[in-house]
């Protein structure tokens, strides 16, 4: 299929590369930043532009993969096209397209994507939504070519999936970052933690996270918790320690 990407960030980059590999023809990359557009365009042998008025009108799919805040504005400035319009955002309802186009949908890849890290697209669950059965069929075919894990999910539910992903990935990664900082401050190599981090993730393939919980907070081991809080300099991280510990203990009482 002929595809135009609107956006050149992490998701657009991985999706464009995967689509190109799958034999699709990436016609064009649009980005507000000419440099970013050019950079991704080179990777997938596409044209590029930083003007919406120059968008190629002959693609079969237009993939909007830009910051949620600006999607509405970009849509209102898009030239009329024939092709299917889809976005890749977890939290934006599909009907954002309604005022602007008649065939549209969503393809939300549930994964943490960084430009610097290659990823096997076949391991990414893709969540699709479509505004009519024909679009759904087309989107199912496109998504199925990229990954064997394709689920249909409606906007209402997708936003909870996205919120859960923020906790399970973005917030988890921040916990790693805080741990890394604490170790760096004390000249302890971060890789000492890797077996623990791997086991923490592996464990919940077998146990529910509520059952997998260990540590001072669930034992309500106040001495340890107070000693920990004393070790933390940053008041914001201190507060986080306290709040997460309280939340762990509260969750344990609910069981």
Span 60-119, contacts to its own copies by CB under 8 A:
67-69, 89, 91, 110-114, 116-117, 119
Mutual angle of helices 222-231 and 235-254, in 10-degree steps = 160
SS3 label, residue 51: coil
Give the nearer residue to its own copies in terms of CB position, either 51 or 95. 95
Q: How far is the CB of 156 from its own copies (least distance, A)?
A: 9
Contact with its own copies (CB under 8 A) among 45, 133, 205, 253: 205
Least distance (Å) between residue 185 CB and its own copies: 7
130: its two tokens: 């479509």
Q: Does 217 help bind its own copies (rule: CB under 8 A)?
A: yes
Compare residues 85 and 241 and give the one whose CB is closer to its own copies.
241
Identify which of 228, 251, 231 has the alpha carbon closest to the alpha carbon of residue 167. 251
Q: Give me the 232-251 binding string for its own copies, x by CB under 8 A, dash otherwise.
A: x---xx-xxx-xx-xxx-xx
Cα distance between the two ends of the chain: 50
Q: Is residue 114 within 8 Å of residue 122, measured between CB atoms?
A: no
Site map for its own copies, 18-37, x if CB under 8 A? --------------------
Residues 37-56 that bind its own copies (CB under 8 A): none
From the CB of 33, what's the least distance to its own copies, in Å? 14
In whole angstroms, how close is the CB of 68 to its own copies at the nearest point?
Answer: 5
| Nearest one of 110, 105, 86, 96 to 160, comparing CA atoms | 110
Print the binding letters for residues 148-187 with its own copies: x by CB under 8 A, - otherwise. -x-x-x---x-xxxxxxxxxxxxxxxxxxxxxxxxx-xxx
What's the min distance (Å) between Cβ of 43 and its own copies? 19
Give the C-alpha separation, 79 to 223, whole Å.
64
How many alpha carbons fall within 13 Å on the CB side of residue 197? 14
Distance CA 214, CA 226 (A): 17
């Amino acid at each position: 299929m002929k595809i135009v990407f609107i956006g050149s960030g992490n998701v657009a980059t991985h999706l464009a590369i995967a689509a190109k590999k799958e034999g699709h023809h990436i016609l064009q990359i649009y980005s507000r930043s000419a440099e970013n557009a050019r950079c991704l365009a080179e990777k997938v042998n596409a044209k590029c532009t930083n003007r919406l008025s120059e968008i190629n009108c002959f693609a079969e799919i237009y993939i909007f993969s830009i910051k949620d805040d600006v999607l509405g504005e970009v849509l209102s400035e898009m030239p009329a096209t024939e092709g299917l319009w889809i976005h890749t955002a977890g939290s934006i309802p599909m009907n954002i397209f309604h005022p602007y186009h008649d065939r549209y949908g969503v393809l939300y890849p549930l994964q943490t994507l960084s430009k610097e890290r290659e990823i096997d697209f076949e391991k990414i669950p893709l969540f699709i939504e479509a505004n009519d059965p024909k679009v759904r069929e087309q989107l199912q075919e496109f998504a199925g070519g990229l990954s064997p894990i394709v689920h249909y999910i409606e906007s209402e539910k997708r936003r909870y999936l996205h919120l859960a992903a923020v906790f399970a990935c973005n917030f988890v990664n921040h916990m790693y970052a805080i741990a890394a900082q604490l170790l760096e401050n004390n000249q302890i190599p971060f890789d000492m933690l890797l077996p623990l981090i791997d086991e923490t993730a592996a464990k919940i393939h077998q146990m529910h996270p509520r059952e997998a919980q260990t540590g001072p907070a669930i034992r309500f081991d106040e001495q340890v918790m107070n000693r920990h809080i004393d070790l933390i300099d940053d008041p914001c991280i201190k507060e986080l320690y306290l709040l997460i510990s309280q939340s762990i203990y509260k969750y344990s009482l609910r069981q």
